[in-house]
């Protein structure tokens, strides 16, 4: 039993599980913001443009309109999230990547230069850069 508790504790404290839990909590909190935006701005706008934003369609004992409303709400929320969050974040990340790519590569450290010369000497090549040696006092 103690082994099972230790294994569960190890599982819970993994970075991915904690990150996922934080993401779910932030997502739930953000869902309220998106719902308020949808209910307060998008739905009245759609109502002004096309009439009643609620769909009611009863087929026998089933209310298919509820499903259609849920799908429409999902698509509206997905569009809001995509255009207000995902797209701007992707543009920001692209700018950061371009700046990183444009930066010149760092000069090799003396250890890398020395190892390159040793590799080239073992292969019988002429060294590409001057030899760095430490002189004893």
* pLDDT tens, position by position, 88-118: 888 888 888 888 787 777 888 889 889 988 8
Report pTM: 0.44
Give tens-digit pLDDT for 65-89.
777 877 877 787 778 778 887 788 8
Total residues belonging to the chain:
137
Question: Token pair of 90, please?
Answer: 């992707």
Higher-scoring residue by pLDDT: 54, 30? 30
Domain boundaries, the chain: 1-53
Tokens for 119? Answer: 């590799």
Average pLDDT over residues 109-134: 76
CA dihedral 130, 134, 136, 137 (to 10 degrees): 90
CA-based radius of gyration for the chain: 30
Whole-number pLDDT of residue 136: 47
């Amino acid at each position: 039993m103690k082994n099972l508790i230790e294994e569960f504790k190890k599982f819970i404290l993994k970075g991915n599980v904690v990150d996922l839990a934080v993401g779910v909590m932030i997502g739930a909190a953000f869902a309220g913001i998106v719902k308020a935006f949808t209910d307060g701005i998008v739905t009245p706008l759609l109502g002004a443009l096309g009439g009643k934003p609620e769909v009611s369609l009863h087929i026998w004992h089933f209310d298919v309109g509820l499903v259609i409303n849920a799908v429409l709400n999902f698509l509206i929320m997905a569009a809001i999230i995509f255009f207000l969050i995902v797209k701007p974040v992707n543009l920001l990340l692209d700018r950061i990547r371009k700046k990183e790519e444009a930066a010149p590569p760092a000069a090799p450290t003396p250890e890398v230069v020395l190892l390159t010369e040793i590799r080239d000497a073992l292969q019988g090549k002429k060294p590409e850069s001057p030899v760095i040696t430490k002189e004893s006092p």
